[in-house]
Amino acid sequence: MSMVDIKIEITKEAQYLIDSPMFPNIRNWEITQNYPHDAGFDLPACVKDIWTLRPGGVHLFPTGIKVQLPIGWELQVRPRSGLALKNGITILNTPGTVDYAYRSEIGVMLYNTSNKPFEIRPGDRIAQACIRAVPTVNIAYVDKISETIEEEVKESGTDLKAEMAAKLNKKRGGFGSSGV
């Protein structure tokens, strides 16, 4: 498992929410994993007032967070499954990609798919961020690509069925229910 170091800057608006006695439930603005090895980090809504997202409505919510990623990494902004399931709140452009060069505040484009208004309060967890490696891609322009995967496999000399059977056998420890 690889480790990646990222830097987070908290905006002045987020610091205001942390310092303000009007928001006693907001103690800090750290993005953390709820459990060790979770894939995502919760992102908060950096709003000073309660916002009502009307049915069918879309709004770009600030998070109070700027991120500095190393080259070769991205941050993906994804919906929180609980908000989607319970309230019909999702992200319009999911997953949203934050490239390593982006240095502005992260915004979350929430979309209310339900027929009921939904309130967003200061500090509410509105999305999750997942950090992912970005491969270096070498693009080759050719006159024609293989029309089927079988052509590609034949050209490479790979026995795809045997390769998949070997992987499955290794994963299961055997083919039958007894593992043999």
Model pLDDT for residues 6-28, shown as the tens digit of each residue: 999 999 999 999 999 988 888 88
Output the average pLDDT for the chain. Answer: 88
Same domain as 84, residue 43: yes
pLDDT of amino acid 38 = 86
Determine, yes or no, domain membership for 72: yes
User: What are the angstrom distances between the C-alpha of 136 and each of 72, 139, 141?
Assistant: 8, 10, 16
Domain span including residue 19: 7-133
CATH number for position 55:
2.70.40.10
pLDDT of amino acid 172 = 67
Same domain as 152, residue 100: no
What is the count of structural domains for the chain? Answer: 2
Q: Summarize pLDDT for 72-124 with one digit per residue, the tens.
A: 999 999 999 999 999 999 999 889 999 999 999 999 999 999 999 999 999 99
Same domain as 152, residue 87: no
